[in-house]
Amino acid sequence: MPELTLRLTGVPGHIGTYDLYSLLQHHGNIQNIRIFEDNRGFKDGGASVTFSPPPAKPFWELDKLAFRSEDGKQVWNLLVHIQNSYRTFDHPSPVHPGIVYPQRMVRKRDRLLPRGFG
């Protein structure tokens, strides 16, 4: 399934993953949120958010997202950029030579039936 990872900069130190989720959840299905730290373990003001599938509306083209404090008195502008995609790898089947599987597989939902009815 296609995905899109966005890089956020200017993220205040007190903002956590739940805050970013609350800010972005209405744009699409969030698969992963990472908040970056420096080599001493302190937040460095960066984060990434992965959507799968990518959002229908390209909100990142605005380059900024406004994050408001709970009381609405403070506003921080987060800069948004598309993160370069990394190369995906295929894995050879250990049983069937010549068959490869993608790095990430998507399981389609099956219809669930009570035991004894399927």
**SS (HEC) of 58-89:** CHHHHCEEEEECCCCCCEEEEEEEECCCCCCC
Residue 98 lies in a domain: no
Q: What is the pLDDT of residues 49-98, one digit of tens each?
A: 999 989 999 988 888 888 887 777 888 899 999 887 655 667 788 888 88
Residue 101 lies in a domain: no
Residue 91 lies in a domain: no
Residue 17 lies in a domain: yes
Residue 103 lies in a domain: no
Residue 30's CATH number:
3.30.70.330
Whether pLDDT at 36 is above 80: yes
d(CA 78, CA 93): 43
> Nearest CA to 10 among 25, 20, 21, 24?
20
Domain coverage including residue 47: 4-82
Domains held by the chain: number:
1
Confidence band, pLDDT 50/70/90 cuts, at residue 17: very high
